[in-house]
Structure 1
Amino acid sequence: MKRISFLICLSLILPLTVNAQPWYGKPQVVGAGAGGDQISGVVFNDLNQNGLLDRGEPGVGDVLVSNGLNWTSTDESGRYEIGVREDMNLTIVQPSGWRVPTDQRMVPQFFYIHKEGGTGYDMRFGGLPDTGPAPSEINFPLHRDGAAGEEFTCAVLGDTQTYSNEQVSWLRDGALSDILDNGLKPGDCMLYLGDVVGDDLGLLDRILELGSVNNVPQWMVLGNHDIDFDARTNADKADSWRRIYGPDYYAFEMGNVLFVVLDNVYYPCGEEDVAMGRTHCGQGRSTYNGRLTETQFQWLDELVQRTPEDRLIVVNTHIPLISFADGTSGQHQTDELHRLHAILENHEALSFSGHTHTMENHSPGQLFNGWTEQTGIGPLPFRHIIAGAASGAWYQGDFTVEGVPMALMRLGAPMGYLHVEFTGADYRERYVGAGVDPERGHWIGVNTPAFRQWFNRIIEWNRSSAENRNPIPPYSINDLPDTKIVTPGDIEEGVWLTVNVWAGSAETEVKAILPGDQRLTMERTQSGEGESPKTGAQWADPFAAARQLSVARYAYESTMGPERAQGQELFRGSNMGPAAPRPQSSIALSNMHLWRVQLPELPLGVHPIEVVITDRHGEVSTDRITIEVRESHPPRYWRNELWD
């Protein structure tokens, strides 16, 4: 049933689902508009699941409650009291073994949004209405989760980033279809790492409805494309998000894991950011910077102090804490990261993020050029994972057989999602490519002299001025010779076997086994010892680059179709084409998860090569590629001369 259409798949699965029935509800508001500088209430076991604190329903003790700055915990009767802030998300931390109710979109209901006066000015997507004075009491329902335990799975999606309903449909038939096919169980979760939409918050409800069919909670991070771009201050930039979805930072527990969702998109950035060296904030236009507010630092510090040391703390942000692809950028990494690392020092920790449209699995001890200068850290103290993008390279690329854009990302991995299995405080991660065999986690390529010539000429054209260059690129995919046919001269000049292991890390081992049991250890092209990215034809992934450098979708046009269907429409309705096939905007020029080995001299003939990949968990996968060594390259096309 792997690739039945999404709607048919739903009709087949939903009547037979073994997931626990959704529990719809929300916090109980008592004494609306009562005002006061304190707010209180009860966190209770909602035995009849009606969302109301009924006689005989017991309180739940030791549940953490926050006003977005300070923390308290419920007493043995489930009661709490905490100060009211003028603009706050009043939240509880879903405790392990319990679950909070959701709405029908499977959005967890663990919060009350309070902003007296509301946004106070018109916003494109509505902002927040005036919530009035704070109520006197908010009661938070919980229910024992019979499916909860030490073992659970989360489907982690970076950058679904849909700019249109057409792209929402591609998300539906891509990563969301794979998640549905692969199955989530009671007690599992979905976690979106920001840029859920592409600047149009009107698309958010449809995405939530599509994801809700998995019958698991949908936890979301705020991204820089999910904000109100007409916000005047950072305090207002998430107002529409808070109305449509919920809090912009919060925490929840599952099993032995504390998930912490942070908002590190500071918008609009300004003088304070410029003083920190972020000069892009002082260019007379509204833009964002990657950093946490002092309020969040204080909120996080106290939360961590209240967290048992045996908990794994998973920090979830949109903008990465660090990045290989954007290692020298201040905007696209997180300022003062050393402060966050210090807060987490005595805990097992893990970082998930999105934003860069790359899959990056950074092991403890890794360091790349720019991290120290931009974020203030040295080698990593714990694992940091940038979880790829469900939109891939912003839905670019040619269509797959499923009718979804291929959209290979900046480091060559496909669009998809991160599948993470938690057991206690341990976890195992693997990246699932959309529309790809879920057991496959790599591409194999061959980097030949012909590939490098083809690559370099297209890159040179792509970097030249659009006004002065020939509108037709020097080469297309049709001009790339068969790279699996090589000559002795090619081998002498340099032929590399390459393996792009999408979720590969410093611990990953890759070997190539040639006929005669000749074993070659493949070397990771980036060691992560403080160096800069190695860029260029010899460091590129030839499998991905061949598909990224010549995209036919640019050329699509029709005589009767609508004007906006000609060529391709991508970011904010920007039209690209019709034009000759050309490179997409993201190309695998460098890579932190590419392994390669130079082929030795081989005799003429056919050489099947086995590739063996061992990931950091000891899981082994194998693949094969066949290389032909010929005295010269055989004629490529139909031999007309024999028929003239």
Structure 2
Amino acid sequence: MSSSRERTKLHVALALTTLVAGSLAAVVPASGAAAATRPGAWNDSAYRGHVEVVRTPDGPADPSVLTGTVFVDRDRDSVHDRHERGLRGVVVSNGRDVVTTDARGRYRLPAYDNMTVFITQPSGYQVPVDESNVAQFHYNHLPEGSPELRYGGIAPTGPLPDAVNFPLAESRDTQSREQHCMIAGDLQPYDKEEVGYARQGAIADLSRRDDYQGCGTLFIGDVVGDDLSLYPDVRELTKLTNGPARFLPGNHDLDFDSETAEHSFDTFRAQLAPAYYSYDVGDVHVIALNTVRYPCTPEVDNADGLRPQCDNPSTRPAYNGRISDDQLAWLERDLAKVGRDKLVVLASHISLLNWADEGSPIHQVDQVRKVHELLQGRKAVAVSGHSHSIENMKTGDLAKGWKDLFGVEGLPFPHITAGAISGDWYSGAITDEGYPVAVGRDGGMPGVLTLDVRGNSFRERFTVTGQDDDVQTQLGLNSPTYREWYAARQSWNDDQEGPEPQLGDQLVLDREDLTGRTWLTTNFWMGSTGSTVTVKLDRGRAQRATRTQEMRGEDQLIGAEWSDPHAAAQQLVNGGSVADRSMHLWRYELPADLAAGEHRAVVTATDSYGRTFTDVLEFQIVEQR
């Protein structure tokens, strides 16, 4: 997703960081996530190879049909040797049709002039990865190649091969019922400097983890920021990770010079992955969708008049959140091959539904109700990126825009917006570790999502870049003084005339702040329906804080009163979005008669699984400033 303002990278000393209180204690996050194999084990044992494309001078007997074999590559040379058995029951697709291999591992698929043929990796086996750890499980067929595109697209593939054979290696990692699936939102570097920020930040964190070798990392779109020549730099980053890397496309991965949607992701397909596909690990079926249609057109995307951006594809091309008809047919056929006891992880860039853009038909998916119908009765979770926010939305949650735009009456299964490695587009002050603070529009921090899976059940957790898993909250004080400064600073930022309004020490409140209503705020990044926040002030009893958005169908509450004061104070000074709304903010009103002097608030956030996280905020009351 594009930032609505110029992205800034101000190297400013941040005086406001004292507002964040590090967690003092926490239950270890879900299901043994800290367990790891020895460092370097992935590179010692990774199955490296490629898809085998077989050509002969005579070509295939029937050029309208693609054939091949899925085989167990015992010697790991990516060549289907005589002694290597074919594997029965593996799902193979051309992006439209879906078939399974026979007893000898063979498949037959109709051939199209523009198609990507791929397999669904079965549990207990691993597709090969290349030297950059990028999974190799597909073949692009485009005889004449892409139309002329700035970043190259797909080179001419020539006639249909005699066979495309897909190698697999046996894998205990993908067979295990315990999986840790890394979901990485919006890496989105616009230049090599920002590639370096990612390397110093979230990628460095991933390089130190060894718990995701089976499921790997799924980068859920906006892999780069419009400059597709950075894909090789991204591959240098995935070399540092400890598991297979997979990608799905986002609206900043487009070939913007493509005149039709048919070729709008050709460079992505050539260098990274199919535009959509699926794979299995343990008891999980992961579906990677393409939810970006570019250029969108009036007859397809704006038939209901809600998307006028799509009315001029030739002169003012734009994108829309939509699944193509071919892909929707593939999705239905793919799911028909999946046992109903599996957990389905439905991953996309543009969300089926999200909260940050709940009133936008462009930034959610047109066919959301159809997708919900296809998953009816299944255990499922949708994960997405795009909005650069963290949103943990549970079954039954409802936002006003979902009902108004799509007729959705409540989520049929959890939907999670996974945050972003780039955070708020690498904005804000630079940390000592060499990457920007990049506090998000919801007050969230840069980082990655993990789905910790046992069998067909999962628990989600968000890991802030550079932090331990017990850092899950940030605290602040939303006072009248802060709210007055918020308005003055916004106005000053617009014209920058006169002296800058100064906020002063946010941890000092006076009597007027208390009588004018001051809230202690808790931004609980993965907080959701079913979570609670309590505040223990000094030696008093713990009191429940109130969630600002109940997710019962209400509209968004926007403005200084509903903002995260810690995040917004940084953003208004150092640039970036402003956290003027959040679906995971709790607040507790401080008593108006609180005595002058030093005070200590102990805040305990409890998630929907009963995991607890404790923060402390110390502040001072004075009678008058």
- Cα gap change, 1:471 to 1:86, in 2 (>3 Å): farther
* Alignment of 1:223 onto 2:254: no
- Cα gap change, 1:472 to 1:128, in 2 (>3 Å): farther
* Alignment of 1:514 onto 2:505: no
| Paired letter, 1:278 | R
Alignment deviations for residues 248-280 of structure 1 (CA, whole Å, 9 cap, x no partner): 100000111011011111000112212132111
1:116 offset after TM fit, Å? 2.2
Q: How large is the RMSD of aligned CA atoms in angstroms?
A: 1.7
* Alignment of 1:21 onto 2:39: no
The 8 Å contact of residues 289 and 332 in structure 1, kept in 2 or not, is answered as yes
Alignment gaps of 5+ in structure 1: 1-12, 552-583, 634-644
* Alignment of 1:458 onto 2:489: yes
Q: Between 247-256 and 480-489, report the one with greater CA deviation.
A: 480-489
Equivalent of 1:602, from 571, 578, 594?
A: 594
Equivalent of 1:416, from 440, 447, 465?
A: 447
Partner of 1:486: 509
1:461 offset after TM fit, Å? 3.9
Alignment deviations for residues 155-209 of structure 1 (CA, whole Å, 9 cap, x no partner): 2111010000000000000111112234445324111010010011111122122
Equivalent of 2:170, from 123, 144, 160?
A: 144
1:627 offset after TM fit, Å? 2.4
The 8 Å contact of residues 207 and 242 in structure 2, kept in 1 or not, is answered as no
Equivalent of 2:279, from 249, 252, 263?
A: 252
Partner of 1:312: 343
* Alignment of 1:528 onto 2:551: yes
Partner of 1:10: none
2:234 partner SS: helix
Partner of 1:268: 295
1:375 offset after TM fit, Å? 3.2
Alignment of 1:164-313 (within 5 A): 164-271=191-298, 272-276=300-304, 277-283=306-312, 284-313=315-344
The 8 Å contact of residues 333 and 374 in structure 1, kept in 2 or not, is answered as no
| Paired letter, 2:408 | I
Alignment of 1:620-635 (within 5 A): 620-633=612-625
Partner of 2:604: 612
Alignment deviations for residues 582-624 of structure 1 (CA, whole Å, 9 cap, x no partner): xx24110111000001011312222211101111111111111
2:522 partner SS: strand
How far apart are the structure 1 equivalents of 2:406 and 2:308? 15
Partner of 2:11: none
The 8 Å contact of residues 458 and 473 in structure 1, kept in 2 or not, is answered as no
Partner of 1:642: none
1:247 offset after TM fit, Å? 0.6
Alignment gaps of 5+ in structure 2: 1-35
1:87 offset after TM fit, Å? 1.1
How far apart are the structure 1 equivalents of 2:37 and 2:542? 49
How far apart are the structure 1 equivalents of 2:244 and 2:497? 48
Alignment of 1:322-341 (within 5 A): 322-341=353-372
Equivalent of 1:52, from 76, 79, 82?
A: 79
Equivalent of 2:582, from 588, 591, 610?
A: 591
Partner of 2:160: 134
| Paired letter, 2:331 | L
1:517 offset after TM fit, Å? 2.8
| Paired letter, 1:31 | R
How far apart are the structure 2 equivalents of 1:321 and 1:619? 28
1:22 offset after TM fit, Å? 1.8
How far apart are the structure 1 equivalents of 2:71 and 2:498? 67
Poorly superposed stretches of 4+, deviation over 4 Å: 13-16, 471-474
How far apart are the structure 1 equivalents of 2:398 and 2:599? 38
2:603 partner SS: strand
Equivalent of 2:138, from 83, 108, 111?
A: 111
Alignment deviations for residues 546-598 of structure 1 (CA, whole Å, 9 cap, x no partner): 110001xxxxxxxxxxxxxxxxxxxxxxxxxxxxxxxx241101110000010
Partner of 1:543: 566
Structure scoring higher RCO (CA < 8 A, sep ≥ 6) equals 2
| TM-score of the pair, normalised by structure 1 | 0.87
1:474 offset after TM fit, Å? 4.2
2:400 partner SS: coil
2:542 partner SS: strand
1:353 offset after TM fit, Å? 0.7
* Alignment of 1:407 onto 2:438: yes
